[in-house]
């Protein structure tokens, strides 16, 4: 039951991406060879549906290899598996125990800390205690009392993580501190799957980890992959636009992903580190388009917390990273690389107004 919502949503995304991609491909000829229809496989991992689509034949063994790599990452970074590396680190908070990190967790933590610094703590991998208290996306979701929020907010502080880079060790110095890499782990896993596919010389594929989409190459007919951007206030699968990409990631953070509604108010899963409450702003979603899914995942969450103005500044400091902000005022704010058509964006819903950031 816990993951029903995100699983339903992920399934939905998968169907849509498949429709967009499969319908455009069919069978085509390329260099006098028959190009086969895509082959996909899905598996429930990282709390979501992970689907890999390869546009070539005879590569089914790559699915097993890819899924076992994702499983490895889940075994390290899951917050629901009691023996995961992250669970063990959290369990030992305040005990003085120093834990040696795997290379994967170390890399993800280093990147998370970098984004935390650059977002002045709006993105914070020590958000764990608040994520647990709110329980959003679980059967135990609730609105915590203000004094509980205040107490837990005091535990959220990435600068207190004692990370020894030379030894790759970590220690959380205060009891109750907890790492949560949920905003970045799927992005990392997608990039790792891409490495497996590209090492095997795959030239055309889609890695979709619960809506974190990473495309490898272009479609066999030479066209770009067309990825739908969800209308945040409509039913799943109602898209307000489509981005056309090659060799890029599209990752979205939004109010519709995991939430509950109480007294007509929506409580979603992205927590504002200033208030301890789910972020309240005019923003409904942020999609990031970048070369790597890892950074796109971290930045979509960070920019969502930061809001339009600060979020745009943050994205500006990452060369080659583009964004689509969608607001309650029916505005779609695009960074320059999208509005100048370097990354084409097709508007499907005319009730939205497109604004170019900085103008
Ligand atoms: P995403 O869907 O990638 O935006 O990630 C959302 C997840 O990131 C949540 O479910 C939490 O596990 C975690 N999270 C929530 N708020 C924050 C925050 N302010 N900084 C970092 N991670 C967060
Ligand atoms: Mg994210």
Based on the number of CB atoms within 10 Å of its own CB, is 219 exposed (0-12), middle (13-18) or buried (19 or more)? buried
> How confident is the model over 116-149, as pLDDT tens digits?
999 999 999 999 999 999 999 899 999 999 999 9
Listed in sequence order, the residues at least 6 apart from 224 whose beta carbon sits closer than 8 Å to its beta carbon are 218, 244, 245, 246, 344
pTM of the predicted protein model: 0.90
Alpha carbon distances (Å) from 292 to 54, 187, 189, 288, 309? 18, 8, 11, 10, 23
Q: Tell me the HSE value of 8 on the side-chain side, using a 13 A CA sphere.
A: 10
| SS3 label, residue 302 | helix
**CB under 6 Å to ligand 1: residues?**
123-125, 127, 131, 180, 182-183, 253, 257, 269-271, 273, 297, 300-301, 305
Under the banding of pLDDT at 50, 70 and 90, the label for residue 36 is low
Measure the CA–CA gap between 36 and 55, rounded to whole angstroms: 7
For residue 159 the two structure tokens come to 């600068």
Ligand 1 centroid–CA 25 distance in Å is 35
pLDDT of 30 over the 70 cut: no
pLDDT of 33 over the 90 cut: no
Question: Which residue, chain included where needed, has tokens 């984004």?
Answer: 115
Listed in sequence order, the residues at least 6 apart from 67 whose beta carbon sits closer than 8 Å to its beta carbon are 41, 43, 45, 50, 52
Measure the CA–CA gap between 146 and 70, rounded to whole angstroms: 37
Q: Average of pLDDT values for 49-70?
A: 92
| SS3 label, residue 59 | coil
pLDDT at 1: 38
Q: Which atom of ligand 1 is nearest to the CA of 258?
A: 10
Helix, strand, coil shares of the chain, percent, nearest 5, are: 35, 25, 40
Q: Average of pLDDT values for 9-27?
A: 42
> How confident is the model over 305-320, as pLDDT tens digits?
999 999 999 999 999 9
pLDDT of 357 over the 50 cut: yes
Looking at per-residue confidence, does 177 or 26 come out higher? 177
pLDDT at 35: 53
Ligand 1 centroid–CA 80 distance in Å is 15
Ligand 1 centroid–CA 288 distance in Å is 15
For residue 67 the two structure tokens come to 């899924």
* Dihedral angle computed from the Cα positions of residues 309, 314, 316 and 319, in that order, rounded to the nearest 10 degrees: -160
Worst-scoring range by mean pLDDT, 62-76, 170-184, 257-271? Answer: 257-271
| pLDDT cut 70: percent of the chain above it | 89
In the sheet where 225-230 sits, what is the strand order?
A: 225-230, 239-245, 345-347
Task: Identify the helix (H) or strand (E) that includes residue 11.
Answer: helix 4-25
pLDDT of 210 over the 50 cut: yes
333-337: Cβ within 8 A, 24+ apart = 333/308, 333/357, 337/289
Q: Which residue owns the Cα nearest ligand 1 atom 6?
A: 183
Q: Which residue owns the Cα nearest ligand 1 atom 5?
A: 183
Mean per-residue pLDDT of the chain: 90
Q: How many CB atoms lie within 10 A of CB 65?
A: 14
| pLDDT cut 90: percent of the chain above it | 80
For residue 134 the two structure tokens come to 């709110």
């Amino acid at each position: 039951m816990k993951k029903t919502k995100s699983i339903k949503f992920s399934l939905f995304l998968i169907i849509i991406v498949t429709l967009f991609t499969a319908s455009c491909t069919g069978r085509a000829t390329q260099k006098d060879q028959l190009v086969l229809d895509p082959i996909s496989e899905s598996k429930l991992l990282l709390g979501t549906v992970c689907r890999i689509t390869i546009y070539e034949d005879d590569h089914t063994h790559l699915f097993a290899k890819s899924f076992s790599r994702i499983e490895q990452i889940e075994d390290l970074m899951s917050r629901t598996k009691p023996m995961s590396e992250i669970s063990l680190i959290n369990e030992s908070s305040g005990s003085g125990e120093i834990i040696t990190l795997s290379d994967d967790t170390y890399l993800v933590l280093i990147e998370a800390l970098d984004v935390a610094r650059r977002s002045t703590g709006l993105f914070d991998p020590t958000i764990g205690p608040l994520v647990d208290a709110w329980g959003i996306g679980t059967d135990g979701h609730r609105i915590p009392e203000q004094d509980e929020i205040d107490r837990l907010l005091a535990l959220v502080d990435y600068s207190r993580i004692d990370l020894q880079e030379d030894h790759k060790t970590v220690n959380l110095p205060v009891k109750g501190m907890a790492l949560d890499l949920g905003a970045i782990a799927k992005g990392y896993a997608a990039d790792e799957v891409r490495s497996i596919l590209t090492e095997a010389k795959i030239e055309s594929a889609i890695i979709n980890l619960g809506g974190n989409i990473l495309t490898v190459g272009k479609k066999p007919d030479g066209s770009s992959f067309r990825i739908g951007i969800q209308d945040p206030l409509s039913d799943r699968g109602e898209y307000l636009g489509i981005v056309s990409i090659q060799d890029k990631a599209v990752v979205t953070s939004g109010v519709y992903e995991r939430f509950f509604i109480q007294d007509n108010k929506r409580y979603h899963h992205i927590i504002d580190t200033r208030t301890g409450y789910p972020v309240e702003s005019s923003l409904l979603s942020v999609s990031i388009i970048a070369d790597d899914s890892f950074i796109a995942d971290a930045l979509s969450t960070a920019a969502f917390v930061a809001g339009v103005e600060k979020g745009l500044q943050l994205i500006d400091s990452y060369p080659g990273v583009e964004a689509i902000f969608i607001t309650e005022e029916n505005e779609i704010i695009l960074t320059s690389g999208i509005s100048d058509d370097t990354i084409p964006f097709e508007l499907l819903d005319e009730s939205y107004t497109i604004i170019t950031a900085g103008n």
